Amino acid sequence: MEQIRTLGRADRFSAIMKKPSGYHRLFALWAIAALLSVPMMVRGQGRQVVVADKQTHEPIAHASIYTKINGKFQSATTDDLGRAVVRFAFSRLTFSHLNYETATVSSLPDTLFLQPKAYMTGEVVVEDREPQWIRALLKRFVKKHKRAYFSLPQDMEYSYQTQSIGERSFYRFLSSGLLRMKNNDDNHFWLSQKEGTIISVDTTKLTDVANMRRMLYEDFVSELDMDFIREHKFAVNDEYSGKRNVVELAFRWKDDARQDHGRIVIDSAECRILEVTRTMGLKYNKKHRVSGMLLAMSWALTGYQIVAWDTNYHVVYKDFWGNMLPAAIDYKFFFNEHESRPDASDREYYAATGGGFSNMEASMTLSASNGTNGEEEWKRLPKSWYIKMVSDEERQEKIALAHLPAVFKLYE
Protein backbone atom coordinates (compact mmCIF):
# COMPACT_ATOMS: atom_id res chain seq x y z
CA MET A 1 0.00 0.00 0.00
CA GLU A 2 1.42 3.35 -1.07
CA GLN A 3 1.74 5.89 1.73
CA ILE A 4 1.42 9.67 2.03
CA ARG A 5 3.79 11.35 4.43
CA THR A 6 2.34 14.49 5.99
CA LEU A 7 3.86 16.80 8.55
CA GLY A 8 0.47 18.25 9.46
CA ARG A 9 1.97 21.77 9.06
CA ALA A 10 1.09 24.94 7.24
CA ASP A 11 4.10 24.97 4.90
CA ARG A 12 4.74 21.28 3.99
CA PHE A 13 2.58 18.27 3.11
CA SER A 14 2.26 14.96 1.33
CA ALA A 15 5.22 13.78 -0.60
CA ILE A 16 4.15 10.31 -1.74
CA MET A 17 6.70 7.95 -0.29
CA LYS A 18 7.41 4.26 -0.70
CA LYS A 19 10.04 4.23 2.06
CA PRO A 20 9.43 4.62 5.80
CA SER A 21 9.53 8.19 7.14
CA GLY A 22 12.90 7.57 8.86
CA TYR A 23 14.59 7.30 5.46
CA HIS A 24 13.02 10.59 4.44
CA ARG A 25 14.35 12.29 7.59
CA LEU A 26 17.82 10.97 6.76
CA PHE A 27 17.46 12.29 3.22
CA ALA A 28 16.45 15.75 4.55
CA LEU A 29 19.61 15.87 6.68
CA TRP A 30 21.72 14.83 3.69
CA ALA A 31 20.04 17.50 1.52
CA ILE A 32 20.85 20.26 4.04
CA ALA A 33 24.45 19.06 4.26
CA ALA A 34 24.68 19.09 0.48
CA LEU A 35 23.33 22.66 0.35
CA LEU A 36 25.94 23.80 2.82
CA SER A 37 28.74 22.15 0.84
CA VAL A 38 27.84 24.02 -2.35
CA PRO A 39 28.69 27.75 -2.06
CA MET A 40 26.01 30.14 -3.25
CA MET A 41 27.19 32.66 -5.86
CA VAL A 42 26.62 36.16 -4.47
CA ARG A 43 27.78 39.63 -5.25
CA GLY A 44 29.93 41.06 -2.51
CA GLN A 45 30.67 39.49 0.82
CA GLY A 46 28.15 37.42 2.69
CA ARG A 47 27.63 34.18 4.50
CA GLN A 48 25.00 31.57 3.74
CA VAL A 49 22.64 30.10 6.32
CA VAL A 50 19.99 27.42 5.95
CA VAL A 51 16.82 27.72 8.03
CA ALA A 52 15.09 24.41 8.78
CA ASP A 53 12.33 22.83 10.84
CA LYS A 54 13.63 21.61 14.21
CA GLN A 55 11.41 18.52 14.18
CA THR A 56 11.60 17.38 10.57
CA HIS A 57 14.85 19.10 9.46
CA GLU A 58 13.13 20.22 6.25
CA PRO A 59 14.10 23.66 4.82
CA ILE A 60 11.77 26.58 5.61
CA ALA A 61 10.96 28.86 2.67
CA HIS A 62 10.30 32.61 3.04
CA ALA A 63 11.61 32.92 6.60
CA SER A 64 12.71 36.45 7.54
CA ILE A 65 16.17 37.23 8.93
CA TYR A 66 16.65 40.78 10.19
CA THR A 67 18.44 43.21 12.47
CA LYS A 68 18.72 46.89 13.23
CA ILE A 69 22.14 48.21 14.06
CA ASN A 70 23.40 51.80 14.18
CA GLY A 71 19.91 52.98 13.26
CA LYS A 72 19.84 50.97 10.02
CA PHE A 73 17.44 48.09 9.32
CA GLN A 74 18.71 45.15 7.23
CA SER A 75 17.10 41.82 6.34
CA ALA A 76 17.20 38.75 4.13
CA THR A 77 14.60 36.14 3.13
CA THR A 78 15.14 32.42 2.63
CA ASP A 79 14.47 30.90 -0.78
CA ASP A 80 12.45 27.75 -1.53
CA LEU A 81 15.34 25.62 -0.23
CA GLY A 82 15.58 27.52 3.06
CA ARG A 83 18.78 29.33 2.05
CA ALA A 84 19.65 32.98 2.63
CA VAL A 85 22.80 35.07 2.45
CA VAL A 86 23.48 37.55 5.27
CA ARG A 87 25.55 40.39 3.77
CA PHE A 88 25.30 42.83 6.68
CA ALA A 89 26.89 43.20 10.11
CA PHE A 90 24.83 42.53 13.24
CA SER A 91 25.09 42.16 16.99
CA ARG A 92 21.74 40.35 17.29
CA LEU A 93 19.99 38.61 14.41
CA THR A 94 16.32 37.61 14.47
CA PHE A 95 14.80 34.68 12.55
CA SER A 96 11.02 34.58 12.17
CA HIS A 97 8.28 32.77 10.28
CA LEU A 98 4.56 32.70 10.91
CA ASN A 99 4.50 28.96 11.64
CA TYR A 100 7.52 28.93 13.97
CA GLU A 101 8.75 30.37 17.23
CA THR A 102 11.01 33.40 16.71
CA ALA A 103 14.72 32.87 17.42
CA THR A 104 17.50 35.39 18.08
CA VAL A 105 21.24 34.68 17.77
CA SER A 106 24.43 36.67 18.26
CA SER A 107 26.49 34.61 15.79
CA LEU A 108 25.42 33.03 12.50
CA PRO A 109 25.29 29.23 12.41
CA ASP A 110 25.47 27.16 9.23
CA THR A 111 21.95 25.88 9.94
CA LEU A 112 19.36 27.49 12.18
CA PHE A 113 16.51 25.24 13.35
CA LEU A 114 13.17 26.85 14.25
CA GLN A 115 10.66 25.27 16.62
CA PRO A 116 7.18 24.72 15.11
CA LYS A 117 4.32 26.46 16.87
CA ALA A 118 1.94 24.53 19.07
CA TYR A 119 -0.80 24.09 16.46
CA MET A 120 1.55 22.28 14.08
CA THR A 121 1.38 18.55 14.65
CA GLY A 122 4.39 16.29 14.38
CA GLU A 123 5.30 13.85 11.66
CA VAL A 124 2.72 11.17 10.94
CA VAL A 125 2.16 8.53 8.29
CA VAL A 126 -1.27 7.81 6.85
CA GLU A 127 -2.22 5.18 4.33
CA ASP A 128 -3.00 6.35 0.81
CA ARG A 129 -6.58 5.17 0.87
CA GLU A 130 -9.82 7.07 1.10
CA PRO A 131 -12.65 5.62 3.17
CA GLN A 132 -15.99 6.17 1.46
CA TRP A 133 -17.44 8.01 4.45
CA ILE A 134 -15.06 10.99 4.02
CA ARG A 135 -16.65 12.36 0.85
CA ALA A 136 -20.14 11.68 2.18
CA LEU A 137 -19.29 13.63 5.35
CA LEU A 138 -17.81 16.57 3.44
CA LYS A 139 -20.76 16.71 1.03
CA ARG A 140 -23.12 16.77 4.00
CA PHE A 141 -21.06 19.61 5.47
CA VAL A 142 -21.26 21.64 2.23
CA LYS A 143 -25.06 21.37 2.26
CA LYS A 144 -25.44 22.61 5.83
CA HIS A 145 -22.50 24.96 6.48
CA LYS A 146 -24.20 28.13 5.22
CA ARG A 147 -26.60 27.93 8.16
CA ALA A 148 -23.92 27.14 10.73
CA TYR A 149 -20.99 29.35 9.62
CA PHE A 150 -20.74 33.10 9.01
CA SER A 151 -24.49 33.59 9.15
CA LEU A 152 -24.64 35.55 12.37
CA PRO A 153 -25.30 39.32 11.89
CA GLN A 154 -23.48 40.05 15.13
CA ASP A 155 -20.76 42.58 16.00
CA MET A 156 -17.55 40.93 17.20
CA GLU A 157 -14.44 42.29 18.90
CA TYR A 158 -11.37 41.86 16.68
CA SER A 159 -7.62 42.11 17.19
CA TYR A 160 -5.52 42.19 14.02
CA GLN A 161 -1.82 42.35 13.29
CA THR A 162 0.03 42.30 10.00
CA GLN A 163 3.78 42.44 9.46
CA SER A 164 6.03 42.75 6.43
CA ILE A 165 9.82 42.64 6.29
CA GLY A 166 11.64 43.87 3.21
CA GLU A 167 15.31 44.06 2.42
CA ARG A 168 15.66 47.40 4.23
CA SER A 169 12.22 47.92 5.71
CA PHE A 170 10.13 46.73 8.62
CA TYR A 171 6.38 47.33 8.84
CA ARG A 172 3.82 46.25 11.43
CA PHE A 173 0.23 47.41 11.76
CA LEU A 174 -1.90 46.61 14.83
CA SER A 175 -5.61 47.29 14.80
CA SER A 176 -8.47 46.50 17.17
CA GLY A 177 -12.13 47.32 17.25
CA LEU A 178 -15.42 45.87 16.04
CA LEU A 179 -16.06 43.61 13.07
CA ARG A 180 -19.60 43.32 11.77
CA MET A 181 -20.14 39.90 10.27
CA LYS A 182 -21.70 39.44 6.87
CA ASN A 183 -25.22 38.00 6.54
CA ASN A 184 -27.70 37.13 3.82
CA ASP A 185 -28.77 40.76 3.44
CA ASP A 186 -25.25 42.17 3.15
CA ASN A 187 -22.57 39.82 1.85
CA HIS A 188 -19.72 41.97 3.18
CA PHE A 189 -17.84 42.50 6.42
CA TRP A 190 -17.74 45.92 8.08
CA LEU A 191 -14.97 47.39 10.22
CA SER A 192 -15.06 49.92 13.03
CA GLN A 193 -11.53 50.52 14.32
CA LYS A 194 -11.01 51.67 17.89
CA GLU A 195 -7.20 51.71 17.99
CA GLY A 196 -4.49 51.54 15.34
CA THR A 197 -0.70 51.54 15.58
CA ILE A 198 1.95 51.52 12.86
CA ILE A 199 5.48 50.39 13.75
CA SER A 200 8.00 51.05 10.99
CA VAL A 201 11.51 52.27 10.22
CA ASP A 202 10.12 55.37 8.49
CA THR A 203 7.03 57.56 8.63
CA THR A 204 5.79 56.99 5.08
CA LYS A 205 3.72 53.86 5.68
CA LEU A 206 -0.07 53.69 5.59
CA THR A 207 -2.53 51.38 7.34
CA ASP A 208 -2.99 47.97 5.73
CA VAL A 209 -5.97 45.63 6.19
CA ALA A 210 -5.42 43.68 2.96
CA ASN A 211 -4.61 40.49 4.83
CA MET A 212 -7.70 40.88 7.00
CA ARG A 213 -9.80 40.96 3.85
CA ARG A 214 -8.02 37.89 2.48
CA MET A 215 -8.42 35.94 5.72
CA LEU A 216 -12.15 36.67 5.92
CA TYR A 217 -13.22 36.30 2.30
CA GLU A 218 -10.87 33.45 1.38
CA ASP A 219 -11.90 31.42 4.39
CA PHE A 220 -11.64 27.64 3.95
CA VAL A 221 -15.24 26.88 4.89
CA SER A 222 -16.49 29.48 2.41
CA GLU A 223 -14.41 27.87 -0.34
CA LEU A 224 -15.22 24.26 0.51
CA ASP A 225 -17.70 23.20 -2.18
CA MET A 226 -18.42 20.25 -4.45
CA ASP A 227 -15.68 21.33 -6.87
CA PHE A 228 -13.12 21.28 -4.04
CA ILE A 229 -14.20 17.77 -3.06
CA ARG A 230 -13.92 16.56 -6.67
CA GLU A 231 -10.46 18.12 -7.15
CA HIS A 232 -8.87 16.72 -3.99
CA LYS A 233 -7.94 13.41 -2.44
CA PHE A 234 -8.47 12.70 1.25
CA ALA A 235 -7.08 10.37 3.89
CA VAL A 236 -7.45 9.85 7.64
CA ASN A 237 -4.62 10.64 10.03
CA ASP A 238 -4.74 7.55 12.24
CA GLU A 239 -2.23 9.09 14.68
CA TYR A 240 -4.48 12.03 15.56
CA SER A 241 -5.98 11.84 19.03
CA GLY A 242 -8.78 14.27 19.80
CA LYS A 243 -12.14 14.26 21.48
CA ARG A 244 -14.67 11.59 20.71
CA ASN A 245 -15.90 11.66 17.09
CA VAL A 246 -13.25 14.27 16.19
CA VAL A 247 -10.94 13.16 13.37
CA GLU A 248 -8.20 14.75 11.28
CA LEU A 249 -8.35 14.48 7.51
CA ALA A 250 -5.37 15.08 5.27
CA PHE A 251 -6.14 16.50 1.81
CA ARG A 252 -4.15 17.18 -1.35
CA TRP A 253 -4.90 18.54 -4.81
CA LYS A 254 -5.11 15.77 -7.41
CA ASP A 255 -3.20 17.81 -10.04
CA ASP A 256 -0.20 18.56 -7.81
CA ALA A 257 -0.14 17.64 -4.12
CA ARG A 258 2.44 20.29 -3.21
CA GLN A 259 0.36 23.08 -4.76
CA ASP A 260 -2.58 22.64 -2.36
CA HIS A 261 -2.50 20.45 0.71
CA GLY A 262 -3.30 20.49 4.39
CA ARG A 263 -5.43 19.00 7.13
CA ILE A 264 -8.99 19.37 8.42
CA VAL A 265 -10.03 18.67 12.01
CA ILE A 266 -13.73 17.80 11.90
CA ASP A 267 -16.36 16.63 14.36
CA SER A 268 -17.90 13.78 12.39
CA ALA A 269 -20.95 13.49 14.66
CA GLU A 270 -21.86 17.21 14.59
CA CYS A 271 -20.54 17.61 11.02
CA ARG A 272 -18.58 20.70 12.02
CA ILE A 273 -15.09 21.74 10.92
CA LEU A 274 -13.10 22.86 13.96
CA GLU A 275 -9.65 23.65 12.55
CA VAL A 276 -7.88 23.87 9.19
CA THR A 277 -4.24 24.14 8.15
CA ARG A 278 -3.58 24.75 4.47
CA THR A 279 -0.76 25.58 2.04
CA MET A 280 -1.30 26.82 -1.52
CA GLY A 281 1.28 27.48 -4.23
CA LEU A 282 1.55 29.56 -7.40
CA LYS A 283 -0.09 27.04 -9.73
CA TYR A 284 -3.16 26.52 -7.55
CA ASN A 285 -3.60 30.21 -6.70
CA LYS A 286 -3.40 31.29 -10.33
CA LYS A 287 -6.03 28.72 -11.29
CA HIS A 288 -8.49 29.56 -8.51
CA ARG A 289 -7.86 33.20 -7.56
CA VAL A 290 -7.52 35.02 -10.89
CA SER A 291 -9.16 34.93 -14.29
CA GLY A 292 -6.90 33.44 -16.94
CA MET A 293 -8.39 35.77 -19.54
CA LEU A 294 -7.73 38.90 -17.43
CA LEU A 295 -4.21 37.68 -16.66
CA ALA A 296 -3.54 37.29 -20.39
CA MET A 297 -4.97 40.76 -21.07
CA SER A 298 -2.81 42.27 -18.32
CA TRP A 299 0.27 40.65 -19.82
CA ALA A 300 -0.56 42.00 -23.27
CA LEU A 301 -1.27 45.53 -22.04
CA THR A 302 1.31 46.06 -19.29
CA GLY A 303 3.63 43.08 -19.28
CA TYR A 304 2.14 42.04 -15.93
CA GLN A 305 2.97 38.56 -14.69
CA ILE A 306 2.84 36.74 -11.36
CA VAL A 307 6.23 35.23 -10.51
CA ALA A 308 5.52 33.73 -7.07
CA TRP A 309 2.37 33.27 -5.02
CA ASP A 310 2.42 31.17 -1.84
CA THR A 311 -0.04 31.24 1.04
CA ASN A 312 -0.01 29.49 4.43
CA TYR A 313 -3.22 29.49 6.41
CA HIS A 314 -4.40 28.22 9.80
CA VAL A 315 -7.82 28.83 11.32
CA VAL A 316 -9.63 27.67 14.46
CA TYR A 317 -13.43 27.92 14.49
CA LYS A 318 -15.46 28.46 17.66
CA ASP A 319 -19.14 28.36 18.47
CA PHE A 320 -20.59 31.83 19.18
CA TRP A 321 -24.29 31.72 20.12
CA GLY A 322 -24.83 28.60 18.00
CA ASN A 323 -22.89 29.90 14.99
CA MET A 324 -19.35 28.94 14.00
CA LEU A 325 -16.91 31.82 13.42
CA PRO A 326 -13.11 31.98 13.08
CA ALA A 327 -11.84 32.62 16.60
CA ALA A 328 -8.19 32.72 15.52
CA ILE A 329 -6.51 32.96 12.10
CA ASP A 330 -2.82 32.90 11.15
CA TYR A 331 -1.92 33.80 7.58
CA LYS A 332 1.26 34.13 5.51
CA PHE A 333 1.22 35.66 2.04
CA PHE A 334 4.24 35.69 -0.29
CA PHE A 335 3.54 37.41 -3.60
CA ASN A 336 5.96 38.50 -6.32
CA GLU A 337 4.75 40.22 -9.47
CA HIS A 338 6.32 42.04 -12.39
CA GLU A 339 4.94 44.79 -14.61
CA SER A 340 7.21 46.00 -17.39
CA ARG A 341 4.92 48.80 -18.59
CA PRO A 342 3.16 50.31 -15.54
CA ASP A 343 0.36 52.79 -16.18
CA ALA A 344 0.59 56.29 -14.65
CA SER A 345 -2.84 55.98 -13.03
CA ASP A 346 -1.81 52.68 -11.44
CA ARG A 347 1.29 54.31 -9.94
CA GLU A 348 -0.88 57.05 -8.46
CA TYR A 349 -3.29 54.46 -7.03
CA TYR A 350 -0.47 52.40 -5.52
CA ALA A 351 0.91 55.55 -3.85
CA ALA A 352 -2.52 56.33 -2.38
CA THR A 353 -2.93 52.83 -0.94
CA GLY A 354 0.65 52.23 0.19
CA GLY A 355 1.48 49.89 -2.68
CA GLY A 356 1.14 46.69 -0.69
CA PHE A 357 3.87 44.28 0.42
CA SER A 358 5.24 41.08 -1.06
CA ASN A 359 6.16 39.04 2.04
CA MET A 360 3.54 39.36 4.77
CA GLU A 361 2.42 37.58 7.91
CA ALA A 362 -0.82 38.32 9.70
CA SER A 363 -2.98 37.09 12.55
CA MET A 364 -6.44 37.93 13.81
CA THR A 365 -8.64 36.88 16.71
CA LEU A 366 -12.38 37.34 17.19
CA SER A 367 -14.27 37.36 20.47
CA ALA A 368 -17.73 38.21 21.75
CA SER A 369 -18.52 41.92 21.89
CA ASN A 370 -19.98 43.87 24.78
CA GLY A 371 -22.13 45.79 22.32
CA THR A 372 -21.95 49.14 20.55
CA ASN A 373 -22.69 52.68 21.69
CA GLY A 374 -24.08 53.89 18.37
CA GLU A 375 -21.16 56.25 17.74
CA GLU A 376 -18.99 53.82 15.76
CA GLU A 377 -17.79 54.77 12.27
CA TRP A 378 -18.19 51.73 10.04
CA LYS A 379 -16.18 51.10 6.89
CA ARG A 380 -17.06 48.35 4.46
CA LEU A 381 -14.37 45.75 3.83
CA PRO A 382 -14.55 44.94 0.11
CA LYS A 383 -13.75 41.45 -1.09
CA SER A 384 -10.10 40.82 -1.87
CA TRP A 385 -9.10 40.94 -5.51
CA TYR A 386 -5.92 40.38 -7.48
CA ILE A 387 -6.76 41.05 -11.13
CA LYS A 388 -10.16 42.48 -11.97
CA MET A 389 -11.92 45.47 -13.48
CA VAL A 390 -12.08 47.64 -10.35
CA SER A 391 -14.77 50.29 -10.02
CA ASP A 392 -14.04 53.81 -8.77
CA GLU A 393 -16.08 53.04 -5.65
CA GLU A 394 -13.91 50.00 -4.86
CA ARG A 395 -10.74 52.04 -5.35
CA GLN A 396 -11.97 54.74 -3.01
CA GLU A 397 -12.89 52.13 -0.39
CA LYS A 398 -9.39 50.70 -0.50
CA ILE A 399 -7.79 54.17 -0.31
CA ALA A 400 -9.94 54.98 2.75
CA LEU A 401 -8.83 51.75 4.45
CA ALA A 402 -5.20 52.75 3.83
CA HIS A 403 -5.76 55.95 5.81
CA LEU A 404 -7.28 54.67 9.03
CA PRO A 405 -6.29 56.69 12.15
CA ALA A 406 -3.10 55.24 13.61
CA VAL A 407 -0.36 56.16 16.06
CA PHE A 408 3.13 55.87 14.60
CA LYS A 409 6.01 54.28 16.49
CA LEU A 410 9.58 53.93 15.27
CA TYR A 411 10.86 50.38 15.09
CA GLU A 412 13.62 49.84 17.66
Least confident of 278-282, 369-373, 406-410: 369-373
Quick one: 376 exposed, middle or buried, by C-beta within 10 A (0-12, 13-18, 19+)?
A: middle
Q: Which residue has the higher pLDDT, 60 or 339?
A: 60
Nearest-5° Cα angle at 245, 241 to 248: 50
Q: Which residue has the higher pLDDT, 129 or 78?
A: 78
For residue range 88-144, list pLDDT tens digits in order.
999 999 999 988 999 999 999 999 999 988 665 555 555 567 888 999 999 999 998
* Residue 334 pLDDT: 92
- Asked whether the beta carbons of 379 and 400 are under 8 A apart, the reply is yes
- Which of 200, 194, 126 is closest to 162 using CA atoms? 200
Residue 81 has pLDDT above 90, yes or no: yes
β-strand partners of 394:
none
Residue 407 has pLDDT above 80, yes or no: yes
pLDDT > 90: what percent of the chain? 54
* Residue 15 pLDDT: 30
- Which of 138, 119, 152 is closest to 324 using CA atoms? 152
* Residue 318 pLDDT: 94
- Asked whether the beta carbons of 226 and 139 are under 8 A apart, the reply is yes
Residue 308 has pLDDT above 70, yes or no: yes
d(Cα 120, Cα 281) in Å, to the nearest integer?
A: 19
3-state secondary structure 272-298: EEEEEEEEECHHHHHHHHCCHHHHHHH
Strand 272-280 relative to strand 100-105, pairing: unpaired
- Looking at residue 254, its amino acid is K
For residue range 185-241, list pLDDT tens digits in order.
667 899 999 999 999 988 778 999 999 999 999 999 989 999 999 999 999 988 887
Residue 175 has pLDDT above 90, yes or no: yes
For residue range 20-59, list pLDDT tens digits in order.
344 445 555 555 555 444 443 334 468 999 999 998 899 9
Residue 10 has pLDDT above 50, yes or no: no
* Residue 14 pLDDT: 31
Q: Which residue has the higher pLDDT, 356 or 411?
A: 411
For residue range 243-290, list pLDDT tens digits in order.
899 999 999 999 999 999 999 999 999 999 999 999 999 999 999 999
Q: Which residue has the higher pLDDT, 70 or 283?
A: 283
d(Cα 36, Cα 25) in Å, to the nearest integer?
A: 17
Q: Which residue has the higher pLDDT, 118 or 162?
A: 162
pTM beyond 0.85: the answer is no
pLDDT band, very low/low/confident/very high, at 9 (cuts 50, 70, 90): very low
Residue 67 has pLDDT above 70, yes or no: yes
Residue 340 has pLDDT above 50, yes or no: yes
Residue 322 has pLDDT above 70, yes or no: yes
DSSP string, 222-238: HH-SHHHHHHEEEEE-T
* Residue 337 pLDDT: 85
* Residue 121 pLDDT: 56
Q: Which residue has the higher pLDDT, 78 or 14?
A: 78
- Looking at residue 371, its amino acid is G
226 Cβ contact list (under 8 Å, min separation 6): 139, 142
